[in-house]
Structures are given as C-alpha cells and as structure tokens.
Amino acid sequence: MKHNHNHSPLKHMLHMVLCCGLPIIIIGLLPIISRISPDASLLISRIVPFICPIMMISMMFMMMGGNKKKDCCSSKENANNNEIVELKEKIEVE
C-alpha cells in the first residue's frame, strides 16, 4: 500500500525539536526563574519531565486523526473507480 503525503515532513521535525528542545531550554532557564520566583521554578521543574510524553501522545493522535479524513475506501473514491470501470468497458465494447 502506497501512502501519499501531501504535507512537508518539516512539521514532524519541528514537533520533535520542540519536544526535545523545550525541556532542555526550560531546565537551562530554571536558575534564572528560581531567582525571580522560587515557587514558580519548583512548579516548572515538576512539569518539565512530562512535556515530551504529552507532546508525543498529542502527535500520535494528530497522525491517526489525519487518516480518518482520507479513508482509502471512501464512497467518493469508489464512485470515481466505478465510473472508470464503466468507461473502460464501453471502450472495450466499441
């Protein structure tokens, strides 16, 4: 089965960069954040480990959701295939 992708793989790369890079950047900024607000840095330090798994799960749902819109067996596509078959039969008869 051949899959036709109508979008750029850069979207997936951007998501991966955000997934890996965002926690690293936040951890790097924690000393600065803790000087400004120690309570906020404590909260952020507890959230950071879960950023990547949450983003990965959301990306999986987006990828699966995109396939439902373009089903290989949709009625519109079947109608087009039936028309093609009928035209081929007419050509063969003539």
The domain spans of the chain are 10-93
Q: What pLDDT is stored for residue 72 in this prediction?
A: 54
Q: What pLDDT is stored for residue 70 in this prediction?
A: 54
- pLDDT averaged per 10 residues, the chain (length 94): 63 79 90 92 90 82 67 56 73 70
- How many residues are recorded in the chain? 94
Q: What pLDDT is stored for residue 32 in this prediction?
A: 94
At a CB cut-off of 8 Å and minimum separation 6, what does 24 contact? none
Distance, in Å, from the CA atom of 10 to the CA atom of 54, rounded to the nearest integer, reads: 20
